[in-house]
Amino acid sequence: MGSIKLIIFDLDGTLVHTAQDVHDSVNLTLKEMGLPKVTFEQTKKALGPGPAFFSKIILGEDNTHRFDEYRDIFRPIYLERCLYKTKPFPGITELLKKLSDYKLAVATNKPSNSTNLILDGLNLKSYFHLIVGADLVEHTKPHPDMIYYICSELQVPPQETMLIGDTDNDILAANSSGAYSCLAGWGYSSDKENLSIISDFHIDQPQDVLEILERKNIPEKKIINIGL
């Protein structure tokens, strides 16, 4: 039987509802580039999977070569606007307060500067022992580098770690590392049914994490590795 000592949270779509600020910043960037606006649903779909997938949705197949230009314009716009509408998801702050006996970390494909700015601005940063953004590892999620990095720094093996996230990147990263994977059902993924099949746990609201942790015996992880 396993036990959980370290809980890693994804950021966008898991800890905080960032989509509206991202969406507004995306469209301001596209306007400056002379490209058409995208819908809010397109922005939500693009969050999480990484730059290649993001660029196809946001820029379109014909403009993926302009991703570096897009990124350079987007980043200062988003840094200025990232706390305009962004809020923790309901129940997140209350959950974090109840997890003081666990080591807590954040693993996000967002850059560290915007991640820290958001968590600090929402008074969430102090709950975490470690915050890892895309710039701190060689490979972002779905690769397991972030989980290995966090586990090494906090001296907890992946087998005693659970990653909570809302996209396939999160679930695949956890499964590949040997950590428990937990699907955040309130998040942005449009493929929750299939993701729940490959996740060790599936929760519908933040407080459900406590039910997992309160189990006397947590089963050994069944899914160890899924091809990336």
Rg (CA), the chain: 17
Would you call 10 a catalytic residue per the annotation?
A: yes
Cα(100)–Cα(177) distance, rounded to whole angstroms?
24
What are the backbone angles phi and psi of residue 110, rounded to the nearest 5°? -75, 155
Reference 133, options 108, 153, 164; nearest CA is 108
Active-site residue, from 10, 12, 21, 200: 10
Cα(84)–Cα(22) distance, rounded to whole angstroms?
10
Find the angle CA(33)-CA(121)-CA(140) to the nearest 5 degrees.
60
Cα(118)–Cα(224) distance, rounded to whole angstroms?
32
Q: Tell me the H-state helices in 10-157.
A: 19-33, 40-46, 51-58, 67-81, 92-97, 112-121, 145-154
Cα(172)–Cα(200) distance, rounded to whole angstroms?
11
Residues assigned a catalytic role: 10
